[in-house]
Structure formats: structure tokens, C-alpha cells
Amino acid sequence: MIRASFFFSNMAAGALQLAVALLSLFSAVLSFPLGPETKHTTTCGYESCHATKPNMLNVHLVPHTHDDVGWLKTVDQYFYGDRNDIQHAGVQYILDSVVDQLLKNPDRRFIYVETAFFYRWWKRQSSSAQQTVKQLVNEGRLEFVNGGWCMSDEATTHYSAVIDQMTIGLRFLNETFGACGRPRVAWHIDPFGHAREHASMFAQMGYDGFFFGRLDYQDRMHRMVQKEQELLWRASDSLTPPTADLFTGILPNGYNPPEGFCWDQSCDDPPIRDDPDLEDYNVDDVVMRFLTIANSQATVYKTNHIIMTMGSDFQYENANLWYKNLDKLIHYVNAQQANGSKVNVLYSTPSCYLQELHRANLTWALKTDDFFPYADSAHDFWTGYFTSRPALKRYERISNSNLQTCNQLEVLGGPASRQGPFGEGESQTMKKAMAVAQHHDAVSGTEKQHVANDYARRLANGWQRCQVLVSNSLAALSGSSAKRIYCDNLNISVCPLTESSKKFSVSVYNPLARPVTRPVRLPVNGTAYAVSDANGKAVDCQVSTREVRRNRGFAVNELVFQVQAPPLGYSTYSVSLRQAGPRPASAQPGAPTVIQNKFLRVTFDPDTGLLSSLSNLETKQSIKLTQNFYWYNASDGNNLESNQPSGAYIFRPNSSTPFVISRTAKTETIQVQFPHMVQEVRQWFAPWVSQVVRLHGDSRALELEWTVGPLPIDDGLGKEVITRLDTSIKTSEIFYTDSNGREVLQRKKDFRPTWNLMQSEPIAGNYYPINSRAFIKDDVDQLTVVTDRSQGGGSIHNGSLEIMLHRRLLYDDVRGVAEPLNETSNIFPEGLVVRGRLLLSLDPPSVAADAHRPLAQEVVMQPLLTFTNGDLSPNTRLEFSGLQAALPPAVHLLTLTQWDKDSVLLRLEHQFQSWESKVNSQPVTVNLQKLFSTLDVLGMSELNLSANQWKDEMMRFKEKPLLKTFQDPSTWEVTLRPMEIRTFLLRVSLR
């Protein structure tokens, strides 16, 4: 999204006069000569860079286009140039036009970034056009930068989905162009703040450097003064440097051209009028303005190389306009060298610019925190999108879990899993839908409503196709071809099968590499059921009257039982209706004073019905804990300090004190037969806010299932709903959040680690992205909250942690989306209702990670339930595990996916930081040959994190492509150190 900002418009009067004098000598040039076609070279990458001049200021002009993979239009509308009434943008024409223009002058350069678009274009090209493009790539004239399927959002994406989307983009580039298609530079020019974990991932993907455009305006000013717009980002506190070190450069002007130098068809800047016989000859003026800007820009960077991004959103649709003027600019500016000018302009790319910075052999400031939150002005904190579109954020997270299950089952089920109407393509649709959803206007929630609907529809289509694969695979593994039924609406207690069937089976597939135990809740209409596990053993189950869930579904009761599922495997439970049994547990008015299981005790305030304390019975620790719901009144922009309203991007409450929704909760308690299974307290705060507090029998976490919406707006006020946990934990303005679901960062109120913050928004300026967890702690107690999606949150008061759950706003926040964030749909015409869970655990700080790491992974990779109606055939295999044994607790199986016919991609991850746990922050060794129960591992080779380069070829400045063969390694043991992810290509055969 375009946001103009101008940093280099101050002209030095002396330089101006000198430039005028020099230029008047030069105004007699008659025609503009183009260089002749030079000989064809086959160098790409760093070797194909244009020469620079060591004693001059070298200005690297980088022609580029920023193509959002969906924002105001859908990804396909952008590709085709459809719906130009919404925004004039057509990526297919951009690529057509740029290729034509590159062919006209071999000096010209272009970078392309978003593989989702390039792939769409490439597959419609003739083979001769493809040949031509390959030639351009081989000569470094067209260079891929970043190269993921999209340019991911950094605040709200989970690392697992980011790695996947990078992998499919980079794989396409490698397979299409080989080594010359491998991007050397990560390029996140638009995301609204930058996560440390993204930098860590980019380093491990083999990028040599990273450039971005947006950072806090105060941070930018400090860095300009101190010449620290180039830095070394040490992006992990656990990985040994330089594994997660990444050179990072901040672009001078967002990603726009300098003021006055935009020559796209969408711009109004004057073209270079260089025929002195015609009117309005302006070469002197253009050259002078350019020299002034270049010299000014050079004062805030360290070397004699500077970059100018010559392009912007969806530019270059008519690339001739840009290139014709850039050719002239380079010619006329460099011609001044004959008159003593010390400025040298050249066509360049981010990697060529990076190479020069690298050659300068300087030292750079070290950065170990991140670039959140992002503010572009005193009252404009981009912290609203951490929560915007909470339903889409959750759907994206569930979709990731489903995709991982789909990928694993494709491997475990073998070729039989791929037999279906879509051939080999069953998991591809879902992979691409998930990749598109990582875009910085997708899961971020900053797109128009129709585009949000498009992302969700793509995910739903992808899941439909994956279901075919999952069914095939489970049929192959279980030996039963009974029809598999999926209940995708269990979150709103809707499942037609369980509501009507007298006998059915449920298979629980667990995508984690260790066994999980969890409750299953099914909507039913019977009052008594018998449940048996895979060994035929009876399982305790409980029927209770269903919580009133508005008008969705027809079930009156809910059946609950515990299931256990083996690592990377399933277990099947059968459920049958009984004629007689105990009456369903019903709700009794009022809250109990206490509920407890063997690990936790939870108390409620008898007067208010709110939570009042939480105790860990094993460690004998106890805290006061009050939880309630509040809403911030969204600023409408009518404000003395600033006219910035709250919107899809920006969070701007018009008061720092939120309104309490209700001081007391109306409560009900479910009187259960089996308190060791689950205890449940239901709370109502308003017709639009309710919560179920659940304590499961063998859980160390308290579940808070919140339901919020439709947010009332008939009072004309936009609302941003939070829940706040106020505790007796003694914090001093510090809390912790995770970065993209991985490493944890410390956050301090009104403080930034690398500059003196002038705080101007006491709430919004203290909000941070919470991807999967946040915590507060003192020396004794740590309260961790695991979330089920990305949300924004902060610790505004000591001992307190607040999380924003839902927002409904009446004004656009003027960052381009041009719609208020006011979500409604056909089935929710009065406004979206959103439901989610927070999982709370209380532990001593020294062991808290041992609890929250696995808990968070369980939420991210949740079991998948599939159903079959009636009796299963007697020789059905009711239980299966794809692993020989569970992996050690420190190891997470991040990826298992079919790569090609005979090989699979495996990622194993050490999921603890080096300082986090006495027990788990130790290196662990895994034997790859003894991993799988049904696959023989015949060969292995290690890759970089994004699987587009062999590990032993990483970080080579000059590289020669080397064909790899699978080797039988001398040892199959691989060791993982804290926070390490190792990526392997395994050649396998089904046993």
C-alpha cells in the first residue's frame, strides 16, 4: 500500500547553485543515444551487476513493482487486471510489458517478488517466450527477490505457514530457472512492522540480506541521524551466530521513488523533455533535482552507495514510460561526470546494491529486538491489525493444521492417498490457498471484505480437496473404505451425523509427534451414549445440556469424552446411543466457589461471578486472578490531537480507560457426573459477550472459551473488545510475547530497546502481536496465556495482561483499504460473532516453558476428527501411528510432506530456547532411520530452511550449481540444538 513520505526534499542552497552552473554547460545535447546490444552473457546473481565507480556516489536505481497478492481486489482480479473500477492494476500486463522493455536495452534491470503472480503468468507463456525470459534471468536482467509465494505479513503469521509459503515459491523458481532463479535478498518493503523471527527464518533460508520500508517514524529519525539505517540483525538468542544473523537495510523512501521522479502511467511527474528544439526542455532541472536528492540521501547512509526504489504499487503496466525516462536520467546525470560531478547512476537490483555494501567491509549496528509496534505518526500506531478479522485469523490457523495433516497423510498413506479426481493436485490447492493467505493484506485483516471472503473461500476449496486425500489415506491405513464424514462446524456445535446417528465412529488423527489426550465435544440429541476406544474398552462419557448457542444447529445436548491419539497417527472410538442412562447434566444457576482437578484450583467471586484466583496444586503456588471483558471506544477521528480514526490497520482508542462490559457475570454451573472429566462454568456479561470456563480432568491449563459479537454499533461507537487478566503477580512494566509462534521477546511499557521513545499513545503504543502466547511473571509465578490465533495485547498495568479479541469500527483509517472494518455476513447480518479459546497456566518461571511450548503446539496442530456412520467392518485397523516411537519433548515435527515420487521433505525442530528449560533446552539426537513405522528411509540430504539449496552449499558468495545424489550417510543420527530447525530430503519407500 502506498504511503508517500519524503525525507530528502531539503535542498542545500550551495549544491543547487553549483548544479545549475554545471548543467547550463550541458544543455546542448541533441539526441539521446541508446547503448548498442551488448554480447549475451550467462552470468546472473552478483556477477551480473553493473560496474560502479569507487570514487563517486553510486546511485542504484531499482525498477520494481509492488504487487499485493490480494488487497482491494482479489489475487486473480489483480493478476488479470479485472475490476479496474476498484483499482487500476493488472499484473499480467506488468510482466508482459517489463519483458518487452528489458529486451530493448540490456542495461535495464527489473526485480520480481511475488511468485504467486509470476507462476500465474509463466504457465500461460509460449515456450519461446519462456526461453526469452530464462535468458533474461540467466543474464541477471530479470532478478527474483524474496521469491516466496507472497510477501508475508510479519505480525500475524505463524512461522510454520511462513516457511511453507516461502518453500513453494522458491521451489517453483528453482525448478524453473535453476540457480539463477534463487533470490539472494529478502524484500519486505510493505509489511507493517517487522518480526525478529522473520529475520531469523530469512537467514536460515540462505538470504544474504534483507530490505524493508516501514519502521516507526521516531526510530527512522534516530537511525538517519546516527547513520544506522543499515544494521546487523541478530535474530535469535539461541542459535549460534551467524546462523540467524541477517544484514538489514532500511529503504530511503518506503518503496517509492524520490519525489518528482515517478514516471509510471499512474504518476503525474514531468517526463524528461530533452529536445532543446521543443518547448519545456527540462534536462537541467531534472538532473539538478536528482543530484540534490542523491547527495542529501547519501548523508544518512554509511557508504558511497545508495538505493532508489523506482516503482510502487502495481507499477510498470506500461513499462516503456518508466524505462524511457530512466535511460535518459542515467545518461544525463552521468554525463555530468565530464564536468566534475561525483554522482554515478546505474540500473541495479537489491542484490547488486547489497554486494557493494558487503564490499565496503564496514561494521554495522547490532539489533537484537524487533520492529514492533510500527507508528507512522504520533497517534497512528498500526496495532489494530494484530486483531482485525479474528474469524479469518482463526480460520487461517485451523487451515494450517488441516494442511499439515493432509501433507502427513499423503506421505503415510502412500500412492493410494493420491487417487482421486484431482490426481496429484489434491494437496496443491490447499498449499497455494495457505500461501496466499500469508500475504500482508490477508491474514493481517487489512483487505476489503470481498477479498477476505475470497481468501476464506480458497482455504475452504483447498480443504475440500485435501479431504479426498485424507479419506483415501485413512482408508489405506485402516483397511476400511467406509465413507468418511467431516464436521467442519463443530466450533458452533453443528454436526448432522452425530446429531442424528445411533451408531458412529470417530477417528482422531494427531499430527504431533507425541501422543495427545484431549476432550472431544460432539453435538447430540440422545441423552445417553456408550463410547469405546480402539481396544473395545469402555470410555467414560458425559452428556450435558447444550449451552444456548444462538440459533445454530439442532442439537439439544453435548457428548464429551476424552480421546487419546498416538504420534502421527489415529485412534478410532465408537459411539452408540443407549436406551437408558443418567439424565444429562444440566446447568444450575450461580457459580461454584471453586472448581479443581489434580493440577489446578480455580475460584470464583460469589458476588460478581468472576474468576478470583488460580492455584497450581502441584507446585503449591497461588495468585489472585480477576478476569473481565471491556471495550475501548474507537476514535472516530474528531479529536484535538489528531484526526486519526481507529481502523483495520490502526488502533486508536479515544480514551485510555476502557468501558467494562459488566461488573458482574450471570453464571451457571454444569453439575456433572464425572468431575474428573470436565467441569464447566458458563458466564454471561452482555447479550454479545459470554464465556465458558472449563477445567478438563487431566489438563494443566484452564480453558476460557469466549464468544464475542455481534458488537452493537447502534450507539454510533466503534468498539474494540478486550479481555483483561488482573493478577497479584508483581511485574514492573514488563511482559513477554512470542514472535511468529517461536522465540519469546521481552516487552517493556513505554520503552523501545534501541531509542528513547516519546510515547504518544499510552494504550495503542504499548500493544504487541501475540501469535501463540504471552506471559507475565515475577520471581515466583508465571501466568502464561496460549491463544488460538494471532491477537494484539499489552500489559498496561502491573500484574495485568490484556488481549484484544474482536473489533468493529465505523470509519476507515485512511491507509488505503477505504472500508470501515465492520464485518457482517449473510448468516450474521447483525455483525460477526467470534468464538475462541485462551489457555491459562500458572507455573514457576523456571519450568513454565516446559508447559507452554507443548500446549501451544497442540493448539497449532490440532487433532482432526473424521466420522463414519454405522458399524465398521470387523477387520478395520482402529489405531495407527506413523512413528516407531514418540519424539522427545524438545523435538517438534514441523513438516512431513511428499516432495516428489520417491522422496519426502522432513523438518525437525528443537522447540525450546537455550535459556528456557533445565530439562528441555538441551541438544537432542534423533535417528532418522528409526523414525517411521511404515517407511524405510533409504537416503537423506540436508537442505536450507526453505528447501531450495543444499545445506553444504549455503552462504557461498559465488556458487556453482552442483547436482546432488542421495547418499547413505554414515550415521542417521541428527542432533538438534535449541531453536534449531533442520530440513531433510529423505528418499523413502513404503514398507
- List the catalytic residues: 190
Q: Does 138 bind ligand NAG (CB under 6 A)?
A: no
Q: Does 122 bind ligand NAG (CB under 6 A)?
A: no
Q: Does 426 bind Zn ion (CB under 5 A)?
A: no
* Residue found under cell 489434491: 426
Report the length, in residues, of the chain: 991
Q: Which residues of 516-542 are buried (b: 16+ CB within 10 A; e: fewer)?
A: bebbbbbbbebbbbebbbbeeeebebb
Site map 32..71 versus Zn ion, x via CB under 5 A: ------------------------------------x---
Q: How far apart are CA 513 and CA 883, in angstroms?
A: 8
Q: Which residues in 897-936 contact Zn ion (CB under 5 A)? A: none
Using CB under 6 A, which of 119, 751, 950, 972 touches ligand NAG? Answer: 950
589 three-state secondary structure: strand
Using CB under 6 A, which of 48, 679, 771, 949 touches ligand NAG? Answer: 949
Site map 353..392 versus ligand NAG, x via CB under 6 A: --------x-------------------------------
> DSSP state, 527?
S
Cell digits of residue 300: 544518512
* Residue found under cell 485483516: 445
Q: Does 603 bind ligand NAG (CB under 6 A)?
A: no
**Range in contact with ligand NAG (rule: CB under 6 A) among 18-26, 721-729, 797-805, 944-952:** 944-952
Q: Which of 164, 163, 161 is nearest to 790 (CA)?
A: 161
Q: Are 152 and 198 in contact (CB under 8 A)?
A: yes
Using CB under 5 A, which of 67, 190, 230, 781 touches Zn ion? Answer: 190
Q: CB 171 → ligand NAG: shortest distance, Å? A: 7
- Cα–Cα–Cα angle for 430, 436, 440, nearest 5°? 145
Residues binding ligand NAG: number (CB under 6 A): 9
Q: How far apart are CA 236 and CA 368, in angstroms?
A: 8
Q: Does 174 bind ligand NAG (CB under 6 A)?
A: yes
Q: How far apart are CA 62 and CA 354, in angstroms?
A: 12
Q: How far apart are CA 186 and CA 308, in angstroms?
A: 17
Q: Which residues in 126-145 contact Zn ion (CB under 5 A)? A: none
* Residue found under cell 540444538: 977
Q: Does 178 bind ligand NAG (CB under 6 A)?
A: yes
950 binds, among Zn ion, ligand NAG, none (CB under 5 to 8 A by kind): ligand NAG
Cell digits of residue 553: 444447529
Q: Are 680 and 670 in contact (CB under 8 A)?
A: yes
Q: Does 897 bind ligand NAG (CB under 6 A)?
A: no
949 binds, among ligand NAG, Zn ion, none (CB under 5 to 8 A by kind): ligand NAG
Q: CB 964 → ligand NAG: shortest distance, Å? A: 6
Q: Does 898 bind ligand NAG (CB under 6 A)?
A: no
Cell digits of residue 660: 467494562
Q: Does 939 bind ligand NAG (CB under 6 A)?
A: no
Using CB under 6 A, which of 898, 948, 982, 987 touches ligand NAG? Answer: 948
Q: Does 889 bind ligand NAG (CB under 6 A)?
A: no
Q: Does 966 bind ligand NAG (CB under 6 A)?
A: no
Q: CB 178 → ligand NAG: shortest distance, Å? A: 4
190 binds, among Zn ion, ligand NAG, none (CB under 5 to 8 A by kind): Zn ion
Q: Does 167 bind ligand NAG (CB under 6 A)?
A: no
Give whichever of 367 and 815 is closer to Zn ion, judged by the CB atom.
815
What contacts 24+ positions apart, CB below 8 Å, involve 119-122?
119/149, 119/172, 120/76, 120/79, 120/91, 120/92, 121/79, 121/91, 121/92, 121/95, 121/96, 122/176
Q: Does 952 bind ligand NAG (CB under 6 A)?
A: no
Q: Does 447 bind Zn ion (CB under 5 A)?
A: no
**Range in contact with Zn ion (rule: CB under 5 A) among 187-195, 476-484, 639-647, 761-769:** 187-195
Q: CB 173 → ligand NAG: shortest distance, Å? A: 9
948 binds, among Zn ion, ligand NAG, none (CB under 5 to 8 A by kind): ligand NAG
**Range in contact with ligand NAG (rule: CB under 6 A) among 223-231, 279-287, 463-471, 948-956:** 948-956
Burial category of 667 from C-beta neighbours within 10 Å (exposed 0-12, middle 13-18, buried 19 and up): buried
Give whichever of 138 and 557 is closer to ligand NAG, judged by the CB atom.
138
Sign of the CA dihedral with 77 first, then 82, 88, and 90 last: positive
Q: How far apart are CA 667 and CA 682, in angstroms?
A: 5
Residues binding Zn ion: number (CB under 5 A): 2
- Cα–Cα–Cα angle for 569, 416, 510, nearest 5°? 15
Name 699's bridge partners: none
Give whichever of 49 and 943 is closer to ligand NAG, judged by the CB atom.
943
Q: How far apart are CA 810 and CA 833, in angstroms?
A: 17
Q: How far apart are CA 962 and CA 960, in angstroms?
A: 6
Q: Does 175 bind ligand NAG (CB under 6 A)?
A: yes
Q: How far apart are CA 946 and CA 173, in angstroms?
A: 12
175 binds, among ligand NAG, Zn ion, none (CB under 5 to 8 A by kind): ligand NAG
Residues near ligand NAG (CB under 6 A)? 174-175, 178, 361, 943, 948-950, 964
Q: Which residues bind Zn ion (CB under 5 A)?
A: 68, 190
